[in-house]
Structure formats: structure tokens, C-alpha cells
Amino acid sequence: MSTKKWINLVSVYSIIYTVITLLNSVLYLLNGIYEDPSGNWHELDRAIILLIGIVAFELCTSLPIKPLILRYVAAYIPSQLLAFAYVWFTSLREPLAKTAYQDIWINFTGLFLVLSAVNAGISAFKKRKGAESK
């Protein structure tokens, strides 16, 4: 992988992690919760789950599968299963919330869908721009 691709990957990871963390903090504050009840483990868990998603998405965009939707599905299914496995392993450290698997499914799938839509839009734009320049 090229240096530029690594820089893009780290940048996307950092931006998404920052936005998610800030949004989570704002939502806690709006609900009158002034400290993260899950503490530092929650931050580390969020970072690892996001890393799973970003790496899977990066692998997804470079798979030689057509059509694009199958490429996304081929990356989504194993990465979602890996995220579920990670959540299960965290249960060895502390009890899980009753909605832990539902929460990870909603959050992971939502982020994956947003990234897929953005990537599909960028790909379509590049393809159209390339066709116009010929």
C-alpha cells in the first residue's frame, strides 16, 4: 500500500473517531451524564471497532469484485462478524449491556453504509470525470 493510501486511511480513521467521540460526549451531556459510565474501556472498544470497520472498508474498495454492491457485502459480512466476536470477548472483561449486539449492529452497519455511499459517489464522480476528459 502506498504512503498516500496509508495517510488517507489514518486521516479517515482519526476524523471518524473524533466525530463519533464528540457526538457521544454531547449526547451524554444533553442527557445529564457528566462522565462516561463505561470509562476508558469504552473509548478503547470504540477505537478497535472503528479500526475493524475502516480496515474492512479499505479491503473492500480494493477487491476485484463486480458489481460494487457485492464488493461491499463481501467486506461487510466478515467484518460485522469480527465486530460481534470482539463484543463477545469484551463480555469476558465485564458484563455486556442487554442491547450490546443490537447497538454494535446498528452503529457498525450505519457507518459502513455511510462510507459505502460516499465511496460509491466518489467512484461515480471519478468515472464521469474520466469519461468527460476523453
Contact status, residue 62 vs residue 70, Cβ threshold 8 Å: no
Which pTM value belongs to this model?
0.79
Contact status, residue 44 vs residue 28, Cβ threshold 8 Å: no
List, for residues 43-88, the tens digit of each pLDDT value: 899 899 999 988 888 877 778 888 888 888 888 999 999 999 999 9
What local confidence, expressed as pLDDT, does residue 134 receive? 63
List, for residues 16-51, the tens digit of each pLDDT value: 999 988 998 898 899 998 887 777 888 899 899 999
List, for residues 90-106, the tens digit of each pLDDT value: 999 888 889 999 999 99
